[in-house]
Amino acid sequence: MDLLMAFGIFLACVAGCMVRGLSLFWALLVGFVCFFIVGVRRGTPASVLTRMAADGVRTSLKVLRVLLLLGLLTALWRAGGTVALFVWTGVRLITPGTFVLVAFLLSAVFSLAFGSCFGVVGTAGVILMAIARGGGANLLVTAGAVMSGIYFGERLSPASSAAALTAAVSGVDQRTFQARMWKTTPGPFLLTLALFGALSALCPIRGMDPQIVSALEEGFALTWPVILPAVALLVLPWLKVGTVPSIAISCALAGGCALFVQGLPAGEVLRTCVMGYRPAMPELTGLMSGGGLISMVSVCLIVILSCAYSGMFSGTGLLAPVTGGVGRLAERCGLFTAHIVVSLGCCALFCNQTVGIVMSAQLLEEEYRRRGLPALELAERIGNSTINLAGLVPWAIAATVPLTTMEVSAAALPLSVYLYLLPLWCWGKDFLRHMREAR
């Protein structure tokens, strides 16, 4: 009963945070206190609970490094002109009959480089939706294409915090995990490409606003060096360079572009690293502003608390009844089906992709140990389920933030086809394997 009361208080706080527009960190903090009290009531000393939570927090340290570097990356790529060059090139490639397809591809390329769905929707997504509104394109179809694209790199980009967290909570190397993610990508990606190619022809844009291109040309020096930060981030991991050094090198190159190509003063670059980028041209303020260490504070706190939950739940066995139910579901329907149910349930309850990833690992790792399966398989199934499915829960921040940024309703989610084609593709493969093993 006490555990149910703790969940009830936590969920009420989640609802309150969403209504008031507050960070979910506050709901997670209240929930942590409630579950801590439940643990003490059930006989675990407070000092032991604290140690368990601290053990969980240690899991988050690798992810926190990536998050802080990602804050620097998103600001310096803006200041150095890398983001502007991507958008400028993509917009110039648009024709009336290819707009939706280009919207998907441009968002996917941005996501692969950036690794952050929020960062991509706040730059390329905003610009593409502005073009769609100005040109009379179908807004829901365009938003679906952008949503599909911004999640493409969440599993694959070296700069992805979701990928880093999945690898960390599963106890595997991030590069090895992401190499496995590429193997399940081609099929769903090609299907998505074909669907948006057809929708591009069926829902063409009537015209485009040339002011966006001219504003980017006026506000930035769009020369070849500004592409180097993106090249470094994409190429270095394939040369066996670690995630953190790859992002750091990309940041250094972007900082050099800001200083020597865009001509920003050193003091302004340092301010940008901390507070985020603010362009001098008013026309670009709404499109290009953002990033910086300050943008990652809330996310870092959420990751810390999520991992503290994981450590406490693991040590006390508070979720043992749920873990047992998940094990029975996996036995009857297959592991990937269990991952889908757990992913949607966690993201619906906690409204957060980060918590969904941590809790999925928490609830299913025992089943993997029981079957003698490697941790890489756990990471693979989390990557193929939770990371994308979080974007399909209408009230989770993984969906509400991009939809709100694009100023469209949740009616765009059924058109965000990549988000569910990937899990469906992987579920089909897993289901067939489960049926063969059951014979």
pLDDT tens digits, one per residue of 317-345: 666 667 677 878 888 878 888 889 988 88
Distances in Å between the Cα of 102 and the Cα atoms of 78, 93, 199 are 21, 8, 11
Distances in Å between the Cα of 337 and the Cα atoms of 249, 362, 372 are 40, 16, 19
Residue 290's DSSP bridge partners are 277
**pLDDT (average), residues 58-66:** 75
C-alpha 61/C-alpha 78 separation (Å) is 26
| pTM higher than the cut 0.85 | no
pLDDT tens sequence across 237-276:
777 777 778 888 989 999 999 999 999 999 999 999 999 8
pLDDT of residue 376: 92
- Give, rounded to a whole angstrom, the gap between the first and last alpha carbons of the chain: 41
**Distance, CA of 111 to chain centre:** 9
pLDDT of residue 439: 62
- Residue among 381, 375, 393 nearest 430 (CA): 381
Distances in Å between the Cα of 242 and the Cα atoms of 158, 162, 233, 249 are 9, 16, 10, 11
Residue with tokens 């190397």: 173
Are residues 189 and 152 in contact, defined by beta-carbon separation less than 8 angstroms? yes
pLDDT of residue 318: 66
Q: Higher-confidence residue: 208 or 423?
A: 423
CB-count burial class (<10 Å; 0-12, 13-18, 19+) for 326: buried
